[in-house]
Amino acid sequence: MAINNFEKCIVDARNKIDDIINEAKSICTEPQGNKRRRRNNSSHDHRVAASEVCDNIISTQRSFGSRILFFQTLWRILR
């Protein structure tokens, strides 16, 4: 099912967060210049934020998936 594949992709990405952060650091060539900086911009903060995003996506997807199953069942009953 497409929903399960989507969730698996998000879980896989969440498990690779450290690799993704390290890769992004290695290819980032933006000059440090006068850009505004966050108060704390550590790898740990990036990891926590990325994990929260993945968790929110998975939670929303599960909620949405449950609604789809509910309406599909309801549709079958009412036909």
Q: Tell me how many degrees the CA angle 3-53-14 measures, rounded to the nearest 5.
A: 70
Q: How many domains does the chain have?
A: 1
Where in the sequence is the domain holding 9, given as residue range(s)?
2-26+43-78
In a domain, 58, yes or no: yes
> What pLDDT sits at residue 62?
81
In a domain, 8, yes or no: yes
In a domain, 10, yes or no: yes
Render the chain in DSSP notation, one character per residue.
-HHHHHHHHHHHHHHTHHHHHHHHHHH-----TT----S---HHHHHHHHHHHHHHHHHHHHHHHHHHHHHHHHHHHH-
Written as six digits, the tokens of 65 are 């998936």
Q: What is the mean pLDDT of residues 19-30?
A: 80
- pLDDT, tens only, 25-77: 788 766 666 666 656 667 788 889 999 998 998 888 888 877 777 888 888 88
Residue 15 reports pLDDT greater than 90 = yes
In a domain, 33, yes or no: no
> What pLDDT sits at residue 74?
81
In a domain, 32, yes or no: no
